[in-house]
Amino acid sequence: MLSAVLAPLSFNGASLNTGVRMQRATAPSMQAEATADAVEVEVPKPPPAIEVMRVGDKTLAGDYGFDPLGLADEPKKLAWYREAEIKHARLAMLAAAGWPLSEKLNAGSLLQSGNRVPSLLNGGLGQVNLFYWVGCLALAVAVEAKTIDAQLNTGKRPDDYLPGYPGFDPLGQDSPFFRNAEILNGRVSMIAITAFALEEAITKQGVVTNTPFLFQPPF
């Protein structure tokens, strides 16, 4: 009778011990598989800023969230408009300095009546030397040839590329401060050069003649 009772107990004990050994044997292998899975899973890199930027998110310098017509409602459009804006801004800064300077230095026969600079509104562009226009065109082609791949993303473009900044910084002055200063001065210059042209077309006098106090040295 006693042997009949002990037999099942010993059988059950052996089964329990076997189950414990199986659990102990399988636990390390499960941990190894989990570790392997964790190593294989890679966190994807965040997309470049130019692909996710939006108006108002401060990714671009001078971004005040102003887009009432919704013209730049997606990253590609915003990039295109910023490329165009910053190119016009840089050209306008050169023009806003060169316009009154040419009048101050009295550019001879190129100036129109009233000491006005040649322009679409003032006329006189046909008197400018052809080699000057060819030189301007050659310079524009040279600059675009160096930057067009980055702008259109048709070639190798750095992950941190932003519109208008092709990596040309020989003096190492690039910073958020200077980027904001550049776009602010460029916007003011675009307004100024438009005002120069309108003022001279309406008054028939050069801007230096109309407002000489603005173009005199402080001393």
The ranges of the chain with pLDDT < 70 are 1-41, 107-108, 219
Distance separating alpha carbons of residues 22 and 24, to the nearest angstrom: 5
Task: Quote the DSSP letter at residue 45.
Answer: P
**What confidence score (pLDDT) does residue 164 get?**
87
Quick one: residue 216, left, alpha or beta (phi over 0 = left, psi -120 to 50 = alpha)? Answer: beta
Kindly list the distances between the CA atom of residue 49 and the CA atoms of 52, 53, 72, 78, 117, in Å, as whole numbers in the listed order. 5, 6, 15, 12, 42
Q: Using alpha carbons only, what angle is made at residue 29 by residues 27 and 30, rounded to the nearest 5 degrees?
A: 65
Question: What pLDDT is attached to residue 2?
Answer: 42
Residues 100-157: tens digit of each pLDDT: 998 888 756 788 888 888 888 888 888 888 998 999 999 999 888 888 887 877 777 8
The model carries a pTM of 0.73
Supply 140's token pair.
């524009």
